[in-house]
Chain A
């Protein structure tokens, strides 16, 4: 019993790490690769979750859909929807320093939150969308969890290989070389703007996919499932701690942060309930503090970005 419980917990944790690792990879494309500050990760995540839910669930009263489409189509739709939302935002904001993008993405996340709450014909309001199909959901609990973990692992591996390939492509190297040099970026003009836009859209699409995987795993998605600030922030600390610019670092950081995060939750759940509520906020405080410490003392993260030619020498010169 004890062992089975542990195994189940490990599976659960593995699935969540996989999903968050997708978000961190998406953010790594945007930040680690192109220097774009996305502070609305939770928004793209939510769009992906709801889109896939609407596309794949059975027809329901009182809301659009479900369209009862195959799972893969739902995931594809999740990526497309998240990318489509990223596109105009990127188009407008990428001409400027990333500060504006940060604010705009905070705005996007807020508006997505508003839409989720106030458009019941789309999202079924506060009750959320339930009965989302889960692949291999009919199997025994543990087996089903294992199967889902395998799916998440495959998706993550494919995403990792694709992102890694882009990072090492010639234009990937160029992007990183100019990432930290605003002047050079401006001098390169249009060509760079396009690449940045692509990076922003692809990153957002991966976040949407992460949201879809989350919704299908939970079999439901409700507005409460997504705490915008916390979700966004966790992904940031995962990437920064792991090592932005390094895909393996992003995945490692996700695992480390998620384990600390959920272990601390287990610890604080033991407290009497009046303290448990406060403990949740203390954990948030500590995660914020952790970011400060990493930014200050270990800005390159656990696995620093591999030195790849021009990118570093340029930085050193400044």
Chain B
């Protein structure tokens, strides 16, 4: 196998898949850092986002319009779920919210299955031929996926580093008691967290649907890779979630070289257990719950 073949058939698809995981993992890591629980409904929330975008596309909206609209809608839904369910459990042990989120995952999936059925769907019919750049075969949608991840991370990092509320989010993640003593309104920080996590989660679902197809179980299958990415990068670290997502995506695609294809999905699990065993703080020294 030559270099180009490796790049075209493993590295590029791996980076694209990794970008999709990274978008979800950022939300998981932020929720970990600020609300301090694992959000098991994150995968199914991504599914919901993908199908909302499908509805918009079928109604005639170009994907370029449908994507931001979907992100906004999903962010609102995420806030609604928090206010309707998780917020009432905030003073109980955090694991209760984890359990609640498992139930929410089931509920979201049921909604998707009732509204859109269980058959596979796509945003557009027909086969997309990859463009060739210097021997590299890349489809437009793959470029869009990578570009969106880069843009989203740059904007998010600037927001966290420069803006008052971005800093408040970091403060809440760093030391919640002191943040409260400083007068930071934790309800606003929590809402902001859900806006970011929900929006990026929807984007991750849309890009998964764009690069593969839409199925009611698509997000559930992403849950493990997204968590593996968050733990691999270091819980609470946005840049870690991105790094982790890309590594998990690459590992899954490259695993085909040594493992039967059916076990692609096992890579994320292996990475998760390996990190918990040797370095639970992750590559970039995150938190350990």
Point out residues on A near B: beta carbons under 8 Å: 35, 37, 39, 89, 92-93, 95-100, 102-104, 106-108, 110-111, 114, 117-118, 180, 182, 229, 233, 236, 240, 278, 281-282, 284-285, 287-289, 291-292, 295-296, 299
Query: Which of B89, B107, B268, B288 touches A295 (beta carbons < 8 Å)?
Result: B89
Interface centre among B96, B103, B107 (most CB of A within 10 A): B103
Query: Which of B89, B106, B260, B263 touches A296 (beta carbons < 8 Å)?
Result: B89
Chain B, range 37-64, C-beta contacts under 8 Å to A: 37-38, 40
Query: Which of B37, B103, B260 touches A99 (beta carbons < 8 Å)?
Result: B37
B266 touches A96 (CB 8 A): no
A107 touches B263 (CB 8 A): no
Interface centre among B102, B106, B263 (most CB of A within 10 A): B106
A-B CB contacts (within 8 Å), total count: 128
Question: Which secondary structure characterizes the binding site on chain B?
Answer: helix
B289 touches A37 (CB 8 A): no
B276 touches A100 (CB 8 A): yes
The answer for the CA separation of A240 and B85 in the assembled complex, in Å, is 16
Kindly provide the distance from the CB of A38 to the nearest chain B CB, expressed in whole angstroms. Answer: 11
- Total chain B interface residues with beta-carbon distance under 8 A: 45
Residue of B nearest to A315 (CB): B93
Query: What are 15 A-B pairs at a CB distance below 8 A?
Result: A37-B95, A97-B289, A99-B37, A99-B98, A102-B98, A104-B276, A106-B40, A106-B224, A107-B272, A107-B273, A108-B269, A229-B106, A233-B103, A278-B113, A288-B105
In the complex, B65 has a CB within 8 A of chain A: no
In the complex, B160 has a CB within 8 A of chain A: no
Chain B, range 48-102, C-beta contacts under 8 Å to A: 85, 88-89, 92-96, 98-100, 102
Say yes or no: A102-B268 contact (C-beta < 8 A), given A284-B109, A288-B104.
Answer: no
Apart from A93-B276, A288-B105, list 7 A-B contacts with CB within 8 A.
A110-B221, A114-B265, A117-B262, A233-B102, A284-B113, A285-B106, A295-B100
Say yes or no: A288-B103 contact (C-beta < 8 A), given A100-B276, A299-B92.
Answer: yes
B220 touches A292 (CB 8 A): no
In the complex, B110 has a CB within 8 A of chain A: yes
B280 touches A281 (CB 8 A): no
A96 touches B102 (CB 8 A): no
- B 17-47 to A, binary, CB cutoff 8 A, 1 in contact else 0: 0000000000000000000011010000000
B265 touches A288 (CB 8 A): no
B96 touches A111 (CB 8 A): no
Chain A residues within an 8 Å CB radius of B109: 229, 281, 284
B38 touches A288 (CB 8 A): no
B107 touches A289 (CB 8 A): yes
The answer for the CA separation of A179 and B93 in the assembled complex, in Å, is 11
A102 touches B262 (CB 8 A): no
The answer for the CA separation of A288 and B266 in the assembled complex, in Å, is 27
The answer for the CA separation of A39 and B220 in the assembled complex, in Å, is 13
Chain B residues within an 8 Å CB radius of A295: 89, 96, 99-100, 103
A291 touches B227 (CB 8 A): no
Chain B residues within an 8 Å CB radius of A240: 99
B110 touches A281 (CB 8 A): yes
Chain B residues within an 8 Å CB radius of A236: 99, 102
The answer for the CA separation of A110 and B37 in the assembled complex, in Å, is 22
Kindly provide the distance from the CB of B22 to the nearest chain A CB, expressed in whole angstroms. Answer: 17
A96 touches B106 (CB 8 A): no
B273 touches A92 (CB 8 A): yes
In the complex, B128 has a CB within 8 A of chain A: no
Chain A residues within an 8 Å CB radius of B276: 92-93, 96, 100, 104
Residue of A nearest to B264 (CB): A114
Say yes or no: A104-B280 contact (C-beta < 8 A), given A37-B95, A99-B37, A292-B85.
Answer: no
Kindly provide the distance from the CB of B114 to the nearest chain A CB, expressed in whole angstroms. Answer: 5
Query: Which of A39, A92, A118, A282 touches B263 (beta carbons < 8 Å)?
Result: A118
In the complex, B111 has a CB within 8 A of chain A: yes
The answer for the CA separation of A152 and B102 in the assembled complex, in Å, is 30
Residue of B nearest to A99 (CB): B38
- B 198-229 to A, binary, CB cutoff 8 A, 1 in contact else 0: 00000000000000000000001101100100
Say yes or no: A118-B40 contact (C-beta < 8 A), given A37-B98, A110-B265, A288-B106.
Answer: no
Chain A residues within an 8 Å CB radius of B95: 35, 37, 97-99, 102
B273 touches A291 (CB 8 A): no
Chain B, range 254-289, C-beta contacts under 8 Å to A: 260, 262-263, 265-266, 268-269, 272-273, 276-277, 280, 288-289
A292 touches B100 (CB 8 A): yes
A285 touches B289 (CB 8 A): no
The answer for the CA separation of A87 and B23 in the assembled complex, in Å, is 33
Residue of A nearest to B92 (CB): A299
Chain A residues within an 8 Å CB radius of B96: 295, 299
Kindly provide the distance from the CB of A98 to the nearest chain B CB, expressed in whole angstroms. Answer: 5
Chain B residues within an 8 Å CB radius of A99: 37-38, 94-95, 98, 289
Chain A residues within an 8 Å CB radius of B88: 296
Interface centre among B96, B105, B262, B269 (most CB of A within 10 A): B269
Residue of B nearest to A88 (CB): B273
Kindly provide the distance from the CB of A71 to the nearest chain B CB, expressed in whole angstroms. Answer: 32
